[in-house]
Structure 1
C-alpha cells in the first residue's frame, strides 16, 4: 500500500488544476481518509470542517484551491464548464490508497 502525497504537495497540485470538478476528481482518486482530508484543509487554511462529512470537506478543499489560485492571479470566479476544460491525467494516481 502506497501512501498518498503530502498535504502540501496535494494542495500545490490542486491549485494547478483548471476547475473544482477536476480538483474533486483528483481528490477522489487519492481516496484520502477523513484525517488526511482535514490535514489538507489545514494546509489550505480552511477551518470549521471537523463536523462535516468527508464529501463536504472534499468539496470545500477543491473550491478553496481553485478560488485561491484565481484570486492570486486576479481572475474572477468562474463556473465549471465541462466543455471548456478538461482534467489532465492524474500523475498521482499511482499513489492511490487501497
Structure 2
C-alpha cells in the first residue's frame, strides 16, 4: 500500500478524485499506474507502518459490494414513448386586450 498526493484530477479507485482532497491511500498496482501517468507523486516515506495499517484503502468496489457497474439504459429515440407534455393539447393564445382610452 502506498500514499499518493495527486497533482491533477484523476480516477482513483473508480471515482474521480481531486488534489484538494489530500493524500490518498491506494494499493501498489494503482499507485504505480498513477505515478507512471504523471498525475500523482508517491509520499509513502512521510508515513509510518502503523499509519499504513490504520488508513483505509481506496478500492474499486461499488457501495453495493460489486465491482460491476450496471450499464446505463440509453434507448434510441424511436424506442422511447412520447412525453406527457408533448401529447397534451397546447393552450390557445389569447388576444391582447385593446387599449381603453
Give the alignment's TM-score, normalised by structure 1. 0.27
Specify which structure has the higher proportion of strand. Answer: 2
Greater Rg by CA? 2
Specify which structure has the higher proportion of helix. Answer: 1
Give the alignment's TM-score, normalised by structure 2. 0.27
